[in-house]
Structure 1
Amino acid sequence: MSDSRRSENALTADARQPRSYWGFRQISFVVLMAGLTALFIALGTWQVERLAEKEALIAAVEARFDLEPQPFPAPGDWDALDPEALDYARFELTGTFDNTETVLVFTNLPDPAGPYGGVGYWVMAPFSLEQGGIVWVNRGFIPDAAAADFADGGDAPEGQVTLEAIARRPEQANSFTPDPDFGERREWVRNPERLSAFLDDAAGPIAPVTLDRIAREPGELPQGGETQITFPNRHLEYAGTWYLFAAITPIMLGFWLWRQRRPRNLAHEEKDN
């Protein structure tokens, strides 16, 4: 066999060898896919943890919401209270509304229990307990068109009253929450600390939770009984989606690696045939 023939056969054999070169792009792609797999697993695990938290919340709400109302804790115990532990518990308390200190908290009620919903306000009023201290009571929802009628409390009951209400932990402001509008007495979150900044002279301590009044007669404003006790729970579905992505990503990487090992001259052979 001539030297030229041997050289040609060597070149042909070399062309049929699997691709063995690994550059920065190839290595980067493998690292990317491995990182995505780890990320998808982490997201799926996080959703499983959120599922456990949501199920615990639902169980706590159901347990507390159906109990008989208890006397509201005494003001001397408020510093030691955990708002999370009181969330959705029923209480009975006696005191007096201060109509002049009413604050309207902007809200949107998309799925109301009563006839009114949509854009509107929670009517928040300070309730001075007979044993001292102030609790902010959410008297209920009013539509935006009725805001002017409740700027000074509207038809808030006069004198000492006893009411039944549901405790709610404070809503927290974030970087997107506007500042309180003290001139119009408008707020954006039901937070006792922020609401108390509207008070000219707070007589005593402020309770660390707000209270939602239960429903009154249908059609009455403010519309009570709007405490949300149902929660969306799709965390299992989300977890399954992330875990599916975590399973598919290595398969895609394996197919890509297999493609990298195909003979270099395969395309030329298919063209010649």
Structure 2
Amino acid sequence: MSDSERSENAQMADASQTRPRWGFTQISFVVFMVGLMGLFIALGTWQVERLAEKEALIAAVETRFDLAPQPFPASEDWDALDPQELDYARFELTGTFDNSYTVLVFTNVPDPAGRYGGVGYWVMAPFFLDDGGIVWINRGFVPQAAAADFADGGAAPQGRVTIEAVTRRPEQANSFTPEPDLAEGREWVRNPERLSAFLDDAAGPIAPVTLDRVAGEPGELPQGGETQITFPNRHLEYAGTWYLFAVITPIMLGFWLWRQRRPRNLAHEEKDN
């Protein structure tokens, strides 16, 4: 064998010794980083979609909340109503409260518009419309210490009254939501279907929404006017954060790949130095 052949073979042997060996761990890491980048992109896109939804909600609230109250739809039209389209609209209703069916819905009002806030209850009562049908009205908030005074309605309006209220779409229960306490008249969500379990079976048609009464006299309980009409909107910030992570991830992966491609003997030399 000639000297040139020996030299060439020696160089190939050196290259094979210094070439990084790829195994399951290295391949898994690359797959993980690529998957992580995809996850960050998906999360950023989801936040952009949530941004559009939140902006649509804010626009709807600003439009509906400032309109003059309208007569509430007749009960024969309730099956065709879309609670989402009625959300935050103002209505005027005439009828009679039946406060013997009052239900207290547990809540927390951290930033009240009125005097009272914190842990307490929404005072929900069925309102029998003159034109037929029942609407669950949120008469307002009472603090926990005063809840016992309103378990049977408290100082409730008597006889035929006309009220102004703001529509709210039903709150949805989840797997962690307790069942209604029918014996104590306690609930956890403002949902017409669940609230109607407290009524007699033949009570009548139930509106697919609840309504929040507007504010009354200062210091009055239940405290109306607590409909939340301001919403945090940081989805653009969140989307930017996720997309930034999506950009950083391939840069980190590229740097790691570059490190893996460096000859091992060079890495050992740097370590020895």
What TM-score do you get using the length of structure 2 for normalisation? Answer: 0.94
Q: Secondary structure at the match of 1:78?
A: helix
How far the C-alpha of 1:19 sits from its partner, in A, is 2.2
The residue number in structure 2 matching 1:207 is: 207
- For residue 268 of structure 1, report the CA deviation from its aligned partner: 3.5
- Structure 2 counterpart of 1:187, one-letter code: E
Q: Is the 8 A contact 2:18 2:265 kept in 1?
A: no
The alpha-carbon deviation at position 270 of structure 1 amounts to: 3.6
**C-alpha deviation, 1:131, in angstroms:** 0.9
Q: What's 2:133 paired with?
A: 133
Distance 1:70 1:236, change over 3 A: same
Check 1:138–1:15 CA distance in 2 against 1; reply closer, same or farther (3 A cut): same
| Residue in structure 2 matched with residue 165 of structure 1 by the alignment | 165
TM-score by length of 1: 0.94
CA contact (8 A) 1:192 1:210 kept: yes
Distance 1:244 1:126 in 2: 51
- Alignment partner, residue 174 of structure 1: 174
Alignment of 1:1-273 (within 5 A): 10=10, 14=14, 19-270=19-270
State the AA in 1 paired with 2:167.
A
Q: Which moved more, 1:19-28 or 1:219-228?
A: 19-28
Aligned equivalents of 1:272 and 1:247: distance in 2? 34
SS in 1 for 2:161: strand
Q: 1:21 to 1:68 in 2, by over 3 A?
A: same
Code of the residue aligned with 1:38 in structure 2: it is: G
TM-fit CA distance, 1:16? 8.4
How far is 1:203 from its partner?
2.7
CA contact (8 A) 1:16 1:264 kept: no
Of 26-35 and 198-207, deviating more is 198-207
Measure, in 2, the Cα distance between the counterparts of 1:194 and 1:120: 19
CA RMSD of aligned residues (A): 2.1
Query: 2:168–2:209: 8 Å Cα contact kept in structure 1?
Result: yes
For the Cα contact (< 8 Å) 1:97–1:158, is it kept in 2?
yes
- How far apart are the structure 2 equivalents of 1:223 and 1:271? 72
Q: Unpaired segments of 5 or more residues in structure 1?
A: none
Identity over the aligned pairs, expressed in percent? 85
5+ residue gaps, structure 2? none
What do the CA deviations read for 1:121-177 (whole angstroms, capped 9, x no partner)? 000000000111100000000000001100100011100000000000000100000
Aligned length: 271
Q: CA deviation at 1:243?
A: 0.3
